[in-house]
Structure 1
């Protein structure tokens, strides 16, 4: 009868059955339904006007269920410490939108049709953002100021794209 185990290069067995440690416990991770839902990264694709409110994935809105913020703070990756305040809308059907303040962020970071915008939730209502253009290449920026969230919404200072 053939064995169901194999030996790797270091001479350790790689069993294919359950309880490979011999103690009756499974070495497999728990089924997905028992894992807590952690949504910390997601992206959106800009198909319509890049300056109007943007819908975020429903899974992310579900993750924030019960903690829906009135605003979030966007930080462009590699663009200094500045936080951009963006108001958030919830539509009552579980959808979350970036609203007032998104337009300024989008202008300053060159968000346009066909861009992919990657978000990473850092906690405390802060999202770090990376923008990829239509060629699927990341746009890199730097900031030459130390301004934070103290600027008015009408004062849009773009990050500068390195030459």
Structure 2
């Protein structure tokens, strides 16, 4: 009987009462929309060749199949890396031309975990974690100064 009070719609017994209406409980997982905003891949093979993204993310795009996506390294400003996307007809999505440059510039290597967050408008924010599960951060010297103090570094690697 307790389970029927949880699935019932309408008014419950009010605050603090037993057997409140369904408004206090989240809907069952099968009724929630599929929202894939964040996912990761593990680099098991050559980090510079095209990379398969999760099938769930490709499914989330629901047939919109963009020709390219824009990668932004997290916390590295507005720089977007254009990466062409391939679909294999089996529902798999791959990062292709442009991925190699992004991977080199951000130190993607064997054993890395690459975290993606979909921002909409074909933009993915990316964080790279090494094999010890520590996030990689990148810096390049300011080309206008010869001083190598910490105050003179800019976050993020410039594109190669």
Q: Does 1:130 align with 2:127?
A: yes
| In structure 2, distance between residues paired with 1:92 and 1:154 | 50
The farther-off stretch of 45-54 and 60-69 is 60-69
Helix, strand or coil for the counterpart of 2:11?
A: strand
The structure with the largest helix share of the pair is: 2
Indicate how the Cα distance of structure 1 residues 102 and 151 shifts in structure 2: closer, same or farther if over 3 A, else same: farther
Shift of 1:57: 0.3
TM-score (norm 2): 0.76
Shift of 1:158: 11
Match of 1:27 among 8, 20, 24: 24
| Long gaps (5+) in structure 2 | none
| In structure 2, distance between residues paired with 1:154 and 1:71 | 36
Could you report, residue by residue, the CA deviation over 1:31-59 in whole angstroms, capped at 9, with x for unpaired residues?
11111110000000000000000000000
| In structure 1, distance between residues paired with 2:65 and 2:145 | 23
Between the two proteins, the alignment pairs up a number of residues equal to: 159
Helix, strand or coil for the counterpart of 2:2?
A: coil
| In structure 2, distance between residues paired with 1:78 and 1:110 | 16
| In structure 1, distance between residues paired with 2:64 and 2:148 | 26
Could you report, residue by residue, the CA deviation over 1:6-49 in whole angstroms, capped at 9, with x for unpaired residues?
99xxxx99999999566543522111111111000000000000
Helix, strand or coil for the counterpart of 1:62?
A: helix
The alignment yields a C-alpha RMSD, in angstroms, of: 7.9
Indicate how the Cα distance of structure 1 residues 94 and 22 shifts in structure 2: closer, same or farther if over 3 A, else same: same
TM-score (norm 1): 0.74
Indicate how the Cα distance of structure 1 residues 67 and 159 shifts in structure 2: closer, same or farther if over 3 A, else same: same
